[in-house]
Amino acid sequence: MRELRVGEKWRGKEIKEVKRLSNGWYLIKTENSKSPRDFKVKVIFSLKPQHSMTPKHAHFAIDLYGKFCRNRNKAKEVFNAIVEVWKRKKVERVLKEYKEKTKNIPGYPLEYVLWALKWILEQEDINFTGRPEKKQKELDEICKRLRIRVPKNRKGSQLAICVLGDIILGTHPVEALLKANLDVRPRR
């Protein structure tokens, strides 16, 4: 695969940031329109033929659930790694710390999960405009049950972390997504 570069276009959108993963996939941030700092995250599996998708919360919820069904302890370690990245620990450090703990578990590679969610969670914080107090209390309760302290300025992404955490607590991913009022399929 050729290298993608910042400033190029991907399907008509300017590339703002590029991360090439060790398996050859690309993660890119492209321009988006919800706010001046908004961006869209894409994973590119192949340049020729072009094969890409926009990763969504639902993809990671289902992936985590599959991991949880296979090996609860390793799935919990994957979740812990996600939380570390959410708390702004460098992805490279988290990968080094959790690679062996999550070895041989099915689904998405940990490197992809952490880089994609790092950006998706940033995007959630950028576009966050608030939520009803009742919903915020529900999210705070999930974090309390998981013994997670919400980092400063991460309320927008707290919803996504709570969906994943709810799955670790035993909730089916469809239930967790519906409870969070997130779309299971992307809007067009």
Q: Is residue 184 part of a domain?
A: no
Mean predicted lDDT score pLDDT of the chain: 91
Which residue's entry shows tokens 């990763």?
55
Sign of CA dihedral 11, 159, 151, 132: positive
Please tell me whether residues 37 and 66 are part of one structural domain: no
Please tell me whether residues 95 and 155 are part of one structural domain: yes
Please tell me whether residues 46 and 91 are part of one structural domain: no
Which tens digit of pLDDT belongs to each residue from 81-111? 999 999 999 999 999 999 999 999 999 999 9
Please tell me whether residues 113 and 175 are part of one structural domain: yes
Please tell me whether residues 28 and 106 are part of one structural domain: no
- Cβ(146)–Cβ(127) under 8 Å? no
Which residue's entry shows tokens 């959790």?
98
Which residue's entry shows tokens 């302890």?
73
Please tell me whether residues 91 and 174 are part of one structural domain: yes
Please report the pLDDT score of residue 183 as a whole number.
62
Which tens digit of pLDDT belongs to each residue from 124-138? 999 898 999 999 999
Please report the pLDDT score of residue 188 as a whole number.
45
Please tell me whether residues 121 and 66 are part of one structural domain: yes
Please tell me whether residues 100 and 166 are part of one structural domain: yes
Please tell me whether residues 20 and 65 are part of one structural domain: no
Residue 15 is part of which domain span?
9-53
Q: Is residue 4 part of a domain?
A: no
Please tell me whether residues 92 and 152 are part of one structural domain: yes
Q: Is residue 188 part of a domain?
A: no
**Across residues 13-17, what is the average pLDDT?**
87
- Structure tokens that stand for 24 in this block: 């050859």
Which tens digit of pLDDT belongs to each residue from 44-88? 998 888 888 999 989 999 999 999 999 999 999 999 999 999 999
Please report the pLDDT score of residue 12 as a whole number.
78
Q: Is 28 left (phi over 0), alpha (psi -120 to 50) or beta?
A: beta
